[in-house]
Amino acid sequence: MADPRLRLTGIRKSFGATRALRNVSLDVAPGEVHALIGENGAGKSTLMKILSGAHAADAGTMELGGAPYLPTNPHDARLKGVAMIYQELNLALHLSAQENILLGAESARLGWIDGHASRERARAALTQLGHGNLDLRRPAGAFSIAEQQIIEIARALLLQPQVLIMDEPTSSLTQADTEILFATIGRLRTAGVSVIYISHFLEECGRIADRYTVLKDGETVGSGVMAGASLDHLVTLMTGREVKDLYPRSTHEPGAVVLEVKSAALSRFVGRGLSPTSTATKAENVGRKARPTCSLNLRAGEIFGLAGLIGAGRTDLLRTLFCLDELDAGEVCIVGAPAGRASPRARWAQGVGFLSENRKEEGLMLNQSLADNLTLTKMDRFGRFGWISSGRQQSTARHWIGELRVKCRDAAQPIGELSGGNQQKVALARLLEHPARIFLLDEPTRGIDVGSKAQIYQLVSELAAAGKAVVVVSSYLPELLGLCDTIGVMCRGELAAVRPRAQWNEPDIMRVATGSA
Amino acid sequence: MKDTLKKILGQGGPFIGLILVIVLFALPDETREFFLTYNNFKIIFTQTVIVAIGALGMTLIIVGGGIDLSAGSTIALTSVVGALLVQQGWAAAPVVLAVVASGGFIGLFNGAAIAGLRMTPFIITLGTLGLARGTSKWLADNQTVNYDSSSINRWMTTADPFSHALPAGVWVALGLALLTSLLLRNTVFGRHIFALGSNEATARLCGIPTARLKVLVYALAGCFFGLAGLFQLSRLRQGDPTVAVGLELDIIAAVIIGGASLNGGVGTILGSMIGALIMAVLRNGSQQMGWPTYFQEIIIGLVIIVAVFLDRLRQGRTAT
């Protein structure tokens, strides 16, 4: 490539002790669609934030059109010709399409909006996208998601960008809307705009991209022409890393089934189609109105891993099992427990415990004491007639502080003052103290130090050995492969494959998760 | 150093504030002679009763992450209900029950609407503010409800105004404050209120029936507002449907000055009681200084802003 439009070399970025980017290089030619590929946490988002001016790189050089490119903030990046479209749409839903397109770049005379000029500019941007007939006066909220995305792209095009970055643009689109988006991207390519296309879905990248770059653990590990690359090759590049010896293997034999999930349909995925490669589309469901569903059997003493990309429905499945989200269709059966109303309260009564992936917003009451956080599910058992014996509550908390080696001042310390790893131990102790016999753990090791991680792996393994059933959702594949007996992989709301761990490896999981199996 | 300062502001803040306000009024020549006397404090305590009992209910609501703007209207409505029943010849005990129950009913309505319709407490109780005020005027036929005499009239005074005894209302407020404090700190119900206000998502995740809890909290608080209405009646000796306009703001201010956070999950009964006392001392002292009422309003307004600023400092402490 003789003359790249955008050239990044040796980009590094650290956040505290975490090295998000170690050594990233990227070349993008004019009028090229460039796929940026990598696993969750490989550094794609950080790189895009640096490109769009939200973060500054610690080291490395960036060139745009041959000149040094050093954006100071996202607005500056836009003015210099790099526009970004985020995964979550950023529209003011009450404002009209036109107002949204011109937001922050209004045509004005002496502070008054120039209606005619504004309309012309918005119309021109939409026409460039091949959607010149969109009603500019309608509120953005009245458009479909795909149309909203077009409005967002039109906004990005307003300042004639040379490089347009799209982060997971299809993650909330239906198949038909994806086709509209691809046609739009095709027009941008013809107009000479360079598009950086970030997606987990490899087959999509294969269709739309001219070239690719693969990131792994904050490094560029490969790049080349898309037409010559096999999906297998890309998956190997994405996942090829060693499994560290973090994972204990205690002997545990799966026993009787304790949780049955039959064709559960998750409410967030209602109305979405199956991925084109889904086994259900090929087999018996042809002709029926196919919808993504999940079926699984969980046994006592089994560790069941749920793999999949972010947004594939892993968390939705776990929350649905715990009645935090509504089950749209199908059946969830806790074996050997009295039926109750479909509520988290009934689940705790049935011996099911849930650990939220979001400690700060859902898992813990940050300004309340460690003891209160630990015993919230069973406060009525620390005394009689609704009275709480604070002494018994504190001594219970102290027991778990000792057992799990939680670093804290005392049981009355507000939990928000503890480190992430120690907070997570307390959140997990809540399930142990209840006590649960079915553990639903959503990203149990997210954002915690390695020491705490190893401790949690050990704990989960001991739970299984003691005959408890555990479901673990994780984005980190080595963790699932190291810890679980059985692994199920989710793709777009469907539990696409469930197999014993021995029959999985990282490339296989990525293939199923990216819908390219 | 900064941490210690924050800690003092966070925990002893309201009490220090009370002492500051008292000292402020004890020093000037105009008030020195009378302000620090037992009899003046008897007056201050009596003047605090209505806001204090209201603040008990409001503390439950605010700790639970809610707000109730209808407290003043509820107090007016329940005092009119009480006056009407006395007029009908009811004895004191059934009147007390009926008045407290009618307050509880309004609270039940608030709680059921907030939990059932999943609407913000601000909107629902803003609506109830108008509903209850209008209903009390309707019941009272838009005029004061007068009656000959009732033992209720004696609960906010003592037979001999210069005796050292405190009126019944003060003792009721003190007793209830103690009970409510125990309820909030040492019972499952109380800890669940903290959980609800601190993080409703966590409360739900941990199987706490959040909707039922909200209904209970507002209903119980409504009972407190009904009782405050009863003492309002006792003080005025007539049912006045236009009384206690804006009193909900005094009550909320007392709770906030007392260290509760409008974000929920933080607050104590002791703090709220001190907050109510600070408000009463400010009023009492300003009157004795001969300050015009507009000046009192300005002073109280400033105190609220300073108290909320301290609230933010506390938030900063817990966030890190």
Between residues A371 and A177, which one has the greater pLDDT? A371
Between residues A293 and A19, which one has the greater pLDDT? A293
Side-chain-facing half-sphere of B115: CA atoms under 13 Å = 20
- pLDDT value for A105: 74
CA distance A89 to A154: 13
Task: For each of the domains in chain B, give its residue range(s) and CATH number, in order of start.
Answer: 2-319 (1.10.3470)
- pLDDT value for A276: 54
> Do A379 and B204 make contact, defined as CB atoms within 8 angstroms?
no
d(CA A396, nearest CA chain B) in Å: 16
Predicted TM-score (pTM) of the model is: 0.76
CATH level 2 (architecture), domain A6-239: 3-Layer(aba) Sandwich (3.40)
Q: How far from A395 is each of A22, A365, A377, A435, A487, CA to CA, in Å?
A: 46, 20, 16, 16, 38
Report whether pLDDT(A204) > 70: yes
CB under 8 A, 24+ apart: contacts of A59-63: A59/A10, A59/A11, A59/A12, A60/A8, A60/A9, A60/A10, A60/A11, A60/A12, A60/A24, A61/A7, A61/A8, A61/A9, A61/A10, A62/A6, A62/A7, A62/A8, A62/A11, A63/A4, A63/A6, A63/A7, A63/A8
CA distance A275 to A170: 12
Identity of the amino acid at A56: A
d(CA B262, nearest CA chain A) in Å: 13
Q: What is the CA radius of gyration of chain B?
A: 20
Q: Does B3 touch chain A (CB under 8 A)?
A: no
d(CA A362, nearest CA chain B) in Å: 5
Pinpoint the residues of chain A covered by CATH 3.40.50.300. Answer: 6-239
CA distance B298 to B314: 25
Residue of B nearest to A376 (CA): B206
A353-383 per-position pLDDT tens digit: 999 988 888 999 998 999 999 999 988 888 8
CB neighbourhood size of A122 (10 A): 24
> Do A365 and B198 make contact, defined as CB atoms within 8 angstroms?
yes
A66-78 per-position pLDDT tens digit: 889 988 888 888 8
Q: What is the CA radius of gyration of chain A?
A: 25
Q: Which positions in chain A touch B187 (Cβ < 8 Å)?
A: 386-388
Report whether pLDDT(A516) > 80: no
A378 secondary structure, DSSP code: G
CA distance B85 to B8: 48
SS3 for A221-235 is EEEEEHHHCCHHHHH
Residue of B nearest to A373 (CA): B195
A470 secondary structure, DSSP code: E
User: In the beta sheet, which residues pair with residue A440?
Assistant: A354, A471
pLDDT in tens, chain B (320 residues): 455 655 555 556 778 888 888 888 888 877 777 888 888 888 899 999 999 999 999 999 999 999 999 999 999 999 999 999 999 988 889 999 999 999 999 999 999 999 999 999 999 999 999 999 999 999 999 999 988 888 888 888 877 777 888 889 999 999 999 999 999 999 999 999 999 999 999 999 998 999 999 999 999 999 999 999 999 999 989 989 999 998 999 999 999 888 888 889 989 999 999 999 998 998 888 888 888 888 888 988 888 888 778 766 765 544 33
What is residue A400's three-state secondary structure?
helix
- pLDDT value for A278: 54
**Could you say which of A368, A388, A390 has the minimum Cβ distance to residue B265?**
A368
- Residue A41 binned pLDDT confidence (cut-offs 50, 70, 90): low
Q: Which positions in chain B touch A380 (Cβ < 8 Å)?
A: 188
- pLDDT value for A286: 46
**Could you say which of B195, B209, B319 has the minimum Cβ distance to residue A376?**
B195
* Phi, psi (degrees; rounded to nearest 5) at A419: -75, 165
- pLDDT value for A158: 84
Q: What is the DSSP string of A170-230?
A: TTT--HHHHHHHHHHHHHHHHTT-EEEEE-S-HHHHHHH-SEEEEEETTEEEEEEEGGG--
- Residue A335 binned pLDDT confidence (cut-offs 50, 70, 90): confident
Residue B2 and residue B12 in contact, taking contact as beta carbons nearer than 8 Å: no
Q: Does B204 touch chain A (CB under 8 A)?
A: yes
User: In the beta sheet, which residues pair with residue A198?
Assistant: A36, A167
What is residue A332's three-state secondary structure?
strand
Side-chain-facing half-sphere of A440: CA atoms under 13 Å = 25
Residue A149 and residue A169 in contact, taking contact as beta carbons nearer than 8 Å: yes
A209-251 per-position pLDDT tens digit: 999 999 888 888 888 888 877 777 887 787 764 444 567 766 6
CA distance B101 to A96: 51
- pLDDT value for B11: 59
Q: Does A361 touch chain B (CB under 8 A)?
A: yes
A124-150 per-position pLDDT tens digit: 888 877 788 888 888 888 887 778 888
> Is the ipTM here above 0.85?
no
